[in-house]
Structure 1
Amino acid sequence: MRQRTIKKPVEVVGMGLHKGVPVKLRLEPMSENSGIVFYRADKGVTIPLKPEYVVDTKMATVLGNEGAVVSTIEHLMSAVYAFGIDNLRIVLDNDEVPIMDGSAISFVMMLKEAGIKELSAPKKFLRITKEVKIEDNNKFAVLKPSSEIEFDFEINFDHPVIGNQKYNFKFSTKNYIDEIAKARTFGFLKEVQYLRSIGLALGGSLENAIVLDEKGILNDSLRFPDEFVRHKILDAIGDMSLLGYNFIGNYEAFASGHHLNHLLTLKVFEENAYEIVEFSKEEELSIVKAFG
């Protein structure tokens, strides 16, 4: 299997979730072994997609470098991971990736429009070689060795629409598009009101998030009965992209979020719980097939 980029540049203009201002997003091809980088065109600053460049995880995963930041990268990076893209330049003219409809499906459509190009260099994977775990009271996130890519997530909210939800996701690009990509981010009305009072979530609306009051949802309907836990998997896939490679292993979590996911990626490197591998179709057919 060889490294991937996109065939041609594509761009879109969308609304930033927190500042509520338009943002132009442009995806550009990169050559082999370039990795994935963000570029703030308005600042002239490049920010590599690496754990050490994470500067905030409270409301979203935020990267920063030389005084410039890029916020809410997880939905876009979730789609980029799902297509197995290794080399990409992500150009923005503001400090947020546009929220689009609150899921990753718009980014899936952008990548389909751009097309996938295979390069000459072999693709590298990060294989988890020993279990690593981050815990915070009853919350946890863990990566375990496995011959496949799998996500197991459980959430438990004291809310009549959410409650306890579990989802086991066996990764492939097709499964991602069918089962995960359309799941939207969600928030509670009282939290949205507070965030707006401090100048955040100014771009949030029923068009780009599931909004819940104390009894139900304010949107017309859900896309999946368990859309909430599916979105948590969408986020986790995006956060795990910070490992720098498509990983081979089993991710499991209970009530995890961006902060625990970030600590987990750091711990993988701190504990040397990985190896970088490349292989032919004959050696690891299931992984190659997962990425089409």
Structure 2
Amino acid sequence: MKQQTIAKKVELVGIGLHKGVPVKMTLEPLDENCGIHFYRSDVGVSIPLNPENVVDTTMATVIAKEQYKISTIEHLLSAIHAYGIDNLKITLDNEEVPIMDGSSIGYCMLLEEAGILKQSSPKKILKIKTPIEVKEGDKFVRFEPNDACIFDFSIHFPHPAIGTQSYKFKFSTKNYKEEIARARTFGFLSEVQYLRSIGLALGGSLDNAIVLDDTTILNKEGLRYKEEFVRHKILDAIGDMSLLGIPLLGAYVSYAGSHKLNHLLTKKLFENSNAFEILESEESQKIYEYALQNA
């Protein structure tokens, strides 16, 4: 398998979920072995994508360089990872990625408009060799060895519209677009006043989130999937795991995981070099390619 970027420059304008301000976003091809880079055009600062640049995980994943932040990166990164893109420049003229409709399907459409360009260097794969876990009370996120790329997530909310939900997702671009990409972020009406008091959810609405009161869903159109809540958690996890910098061969398993726990898991993995290996040989690449084709 070869590394990939996009075939042409594309752009869009939207608003940020938490800051509620307009932002222009441009995606541009990058040369092989460059990775994913964010660029704040308003302040002239570039921020490479890696776990060490994560500075906040409250309600979203936030990266920064010095005092300059880029927030709510997980939905975009989820789509970028799903389309197998290794090298990309993401330019923003403000500090938050546009929220679109609260899912990643808009980013999927943007990437399809841009097209995918195969490059000459081989794609590197991160293979999980031994289990590694981060816990917080009864919540956990864990990597396990597996010959496929699996995201297995369970949640429980004491709300009649959610309750207990579980979903096991076998990763491929096709499966992602069909099973995960349209799952929207969600929040509770009772929390909105508090979130806005601390400068979050200022751009949130029924157009870009599932909103719940004490008993029901307020969105008139209802849900897009039966398990939309847990599927969105998988969407987020795929985005957060993209901070590993290379595709994952193994299983991600979680109960009530969060951006915080996802970040701690990526850091813990890189602190335990015996828990993984980097596959670079042609034969190793075929193993990953076979896993995707048979998802």
- 1:278 CA displacement: 2.4
SS of residue in 1 equivalent to 2:282? coil
SS of residue in 2 equivalent to 1:208? coil
- Contact preservation (8 Å) 1:173, 1:290: no
- Contact preservation (8 Å) 2:126, 2:278: yes
Task: Find out whether 1:248 has 2:249 as its counterpart.
Answer: yes
Amino acid at match of 2:168: N
- Contact preservation (8 Å) 1:5, 1:88: yes
Per-residue Cα deviation, 1:70-121 (whole angstroms, up to 9, x for no partner): 0000000000010111000000000000100000000000000000000010
Q: With the length of structure 1 as denominator, give the TM-score of the two structures.
A: 0.97
195-204 or 135-144, which moves further after superposition?
195-204
Per-residue Cα deviation, 1:149-185 (whole angstroms, up to 9, x for no partner): 0010000000000000000001110000000000000
Q: 1:176 to 1:290 in 2, by over 3 A?
A: farther
Q: What is aligned with 1:118?
A: 118
Q: With the length of structure 2 as denominator, give the TM-score of the two structures.
A: 0.96
Q: What is aligned with 2:102?
A: 102
Give, in whole Å, the separation in 1 of the partners of 2:282 and 2:293: 11
- Contact preservation (8 Å) 2:184, 2:208: yes
- Contact preservation (8 Å) 2:4, 2:118: yes
- 1:288 CA displacement: 5.2
Q: What is aligned with 1:276?
A: 278
Give, in whole Å, the separation in 2 of the partners of 1:251 and 1:288: 15
Q: What is aligned with 1:61?
A: 61
Give, in whole Å, the separation in 1 of the partners of 2:294 and 2:77: 17
Give, in whole Å, the separation in 2 of the partners of 1:290 and 1:210: 32
Amino acid at match of 1:286: Y
Alignment of 1:219-258 (within 5 A): 219-220=219-220, 221-258=222-259
Give, in whole Å, the separation in 2 of the partners of 1:202 and 1:270: 36
- Contact preservation (8 Å) 2:148, 2:292: no
- How many percent identity over aligned positions? 61
Give, in whole Å, the separation in 1 of the partners of 2:292 and 2:228: 28
SS of residue in 1 equivalent to 2:268? helix
Amino acid at match of 1:12: L
SS of residue in 2 equivalent to 1:119? strand
Amino acid at match of 2:94: N
Give, in whole Å, the separation in 1 of the partners of 2:105 and 2:24: 17
Q: What is aligned with 1:159?
A: 159
Give, in whole Å, the separation in 2 of the partners of 1:190 and 1:231: 20
Which sections of structure 2, spanning at least 5 residues, go unmatched? none
How many correspondences in the alignment?
Answer: 291
SS of residue in 1 equivalent to 2:179? helix
- Contact preservation (8 Å) 1:10, 1:26: yes
Name the Cα RMSD after superposition: 1.3
Q: What is aligned with 1:128?
A: 128
Amino acid at match of 2:96: E
